[in-house]
Chain A
């Protein structure tokens, strides 16, 4: 019963000065089973981040409803963890204090929380960095901290808003493997938003390509690559023929959408 269900989600933003209304999202319907990994692609302005913020509870939809495991989503909650593009770490805290943040807010006993923090730092590959200030970490390491900080609270769903967008190619690939590993080991439901078609294909068990004006789900794919990624090298997967075909198809799709937007000017 840990399904994430979205029914007829719509979101309209009104500019308070001009009164012009923009339909950021219209009639989004989907449901995600527990342990599914969904990646979302789309041209800029198609409402990807808006969708994620709504699921996280930061925004209220103008119409429709969302539920997680049968409970209506009405605001932010620990069961939906969020990982931001820039980490959004608390730079005044050390690595372990950052990871510990959620536990501290719940007033978890120190002995218990220390153990949990150690465990998750180990899993994301940051053993020994507990006392480092976060501002001394590289971008990739900061994202690892953000992942651990989110996972230590035991969320049902992990929402990632372009988590690897600011990383260099090599670090990115390592982080992609890490995300797949975490997905496999924890069996969490994950939604990941990305700008990179390759990343979406590699990570997404399911993939939504969204279209703008109004934001909607344009096409849905079910992909085999995420499963393979657990055992095979990600670089090898990229060279598979089917991977290339889908990538070209989606690139063309998004290209056309962008053309359409530009052509309208």
Chain B
């Protein structure tokens, strides 16, 4: 079932996209009708309009999902499932002849030879001007000038058509003919070509870690793939081709000798450190330029003209062959297309960092699978599941071992027969250390639960301590004035600014994070409880005095319920801020939790996983808020109506 869903994700996406398009059209039609209908009885600015309408919500949701499908190349994959594979084959050609195109004014303005000549001459001029006369003696200076001059001469010889090596002329002719041949083959079309069975057996686009299947799965792809392999041979020949003539070789040889000469004299000398480093630096700069010239990659200005033309024709032939693929590429594949690296084809641009909606769901389902051995979960922990936990472990957590030490009597010893019979105190210690079996209870488990647990515990502590303090601050001059400076000083500090300190003191696991979140929740709860308590109407207080309530009763039955709306709002805010802080804290350090997953995903650039965690966090945050809003309506229906 699951693997079928995974295999057919392209078709499923197609169905979803069509449904979304229908929803979009229908909702817009309904929306426009409703707008026209209501235009009569709602003036501009009528607050009734903030109630919205489900149809515009539907329009919004369908639009955003369609945009997501579009920019993640989900539409391309849904309706043209072979696009990725064919673009990959085309990309193979680009990669195969990349060294040749780099030498030609294709995707650039100048021939590579022109660029090299210009840059090297410019740098030689600069070196000539900056010759360090203070560290080299006269004879050496002469020699260095000579090297620079000869370097210029090498460029001159390379650039002269009369000196071009016959080898290179022949090689370029061969390559040029090769491209003409390839263009011709492309022109014959791909009818009758059959993809390998091996290629057809590859996992589909996006269903596997390799993302785009590498081997061609369509006749067109087969042709493009074949072309790329042939083109690779031409590239090989091109890379071997050098412009080495006898004149140039002689010049290169003498220049090299002079450079070595200077280097040797540097090494043999006993100059001061500073002077020596200057000498080394200069000769190194000269040598760097010389090395760019001695391999003979500069050719005369018109030497590559014919080759350039044939490559351009070749590209035209490719475009012709791509045919309908060009249109799909232009319309449905926003971003930078497919790029072939050494071992794989990857999507570039939005297709890369924005995973397709269906892939996100597939990744989520894989993560949510509680069967860790079966490849589910993440880093040895499920996303959200349950496990048995020992009651003894829970008790042991609450009973400190040192408490047992205080019990009367001594711990037992082994007897003279060499047997250890535990006494009462030993048994108590076993309880405190969780060494006995008391049964087990089911407990939630997994990354999401780890995050939730931290928030819940911190929130419980924050509410339990913050609300009483806040209430007392709301009714007592002493509490208000004594605690106000402390809380107002630490509260404005962004919680994450405390993180390094708190995590160092309390550890990077649960303790540190819970304390950090507790600090956040505590301040918010104190302030909201204080506002709520101090906002009790004087007449209500007076009325309850007149009705015979004691101070304690007024606190419990009047001030506390009166502060409830503020307290619940405080809890709602606390949850939001705690959740945000927690995820960030988990990204800083730790080994479990939603933030941890995203941090790992970030390091390994797993965009699907990043999006999955983002969606989980968003949905959980939304769920918290809906829950709190519901709780507020249920528990304090009088809010704002007193």
Contact = CB atoms under 8 A, between A and B. Distances in A.
Contacts of A86: 539
B548 A58 contact: no
Contacts of B539: 84, 86, 88
Contact of A106 (B540, B548, B636): B548
A82 B538 CA distance: 13
Given A88-B540, A90-B540, A92-B564, A81 B546 contact: yes
Contacts of A93: 561
Interface string A60-88: 00000000000000011110111010101
B313 to A, nearest CB: 84
Interface stretch (B2-10, B206-214, B240-248, B549-557): B549-557
B57 interface: no
B636 to A, nearest CB: 7
A131 to B, nearest CB: 13
Contacts of A75: 545
Contacts of B548: 77-78, 102, 105-106, 153
A226 B550 CA distance: 36
B543 interface: yes
Interface of B: prevailing SS:
helix
A149 interface: yes
A193 interface: no
B476 interface: no
Given A90-B561, A92-B562, A92-B636, A153 B547 contact: yes
A122 interface: no
A207 interface: no
A193 to B, nearest CB: 14
Interface string A95-111: 00000011011100000
Nearest to A161: B539
A102 B550 CA distance: 11
B338 to A, nearest CB: 64
B542 interface: yes
B558 interface: yes
A216 to B, nearest CB: 25
Interface string B18-30: 0000000000000
A91 interface: yes
Interface in A125-163: 133-135, 149-150, 153
Given A105-B547, A105-B548, A153-B548, A91 B638 contact: yes
A201 interface: no
Interface centre among A77, A86, A101, A106 (most CB of B within 10 A): A101
Nearest to A136: B641
Interface in B528-548: 537, 539-540, 542-548
A101 B637 CA distance: 20
Nearest to A56: B546
A58 B558 CA distance: 17
B485 to A, nearest CB: 23
A141 to B, nearest CB: 14
A62 to B, nearest CB: 20
Contacts of A91: 638, 641-642
A40 B345 CA distance: 93
Nearest to A104: B557
A76 B545 contact: yes
A78 B638 contact: no
Contacts of A78: 546-548
A203 to B, nearest CB: 21
B558 A82 contact: no
Contacts of B641: 91, 135
Given A92-B638, A135-B642, A101 B540 contact: no
Contacts of A82: 542-543, 546
Contacts of A106: 548
A58 B542 CA distance: 7
A244 B539 CA distance: 35
Given A88-B537, A90-B540, A101 B561 contact: no
B567 to A, nearest CB: 12
A56 B547 CA distance: 11
B542 A90 contact: no
Contacts of A104: 557
B538 to A, nearest CB: 9
A49 to B, nearest CB: 11
Contacts of B544: 101, 105
Contacts of A56: 542, 546
A76 B546 contact: yes
Contact of B542 (A76, A133, A134, A150): A76
A197 B244 CA distance: 121
Interface string B24-48: 0000000000000000000000000
Contacts of A57: 545-546
A99 to B, nearest CB: 10
Contacts of B562: 92
A53 B546 CA distance: 11
A80 B546 CA distance: 7
A95 to B, nearest CB: 13
A92 B567 CA distance: 14
8 contacts: A76-B546, A82-B543, A84-B542, A88-B537, A88-B540, A93-B561, A101-B544, A133-B638
Given A58-B545, A90-B557, A105-B547, 7 more contacts: A56-B546, A78-B547, A84-B539, A88-B539, A92-B636, A105-B549, A135-B638
Interface of A: 53, 56-58, 75-78, 80-82, 84, 86, 88, 90-93, 101-102, 104-106, 133-135, 149-150, 153
Shortest Cβ-Cβ A-B pairs, 6 listed = A102-B547, A76-B545, A135-B641, A88-B539, A78-B548, A91-B638
Interface of B: 537, 539-540, 542-550, 553, 557-558, 561-562, 564, 636-638, 641-642
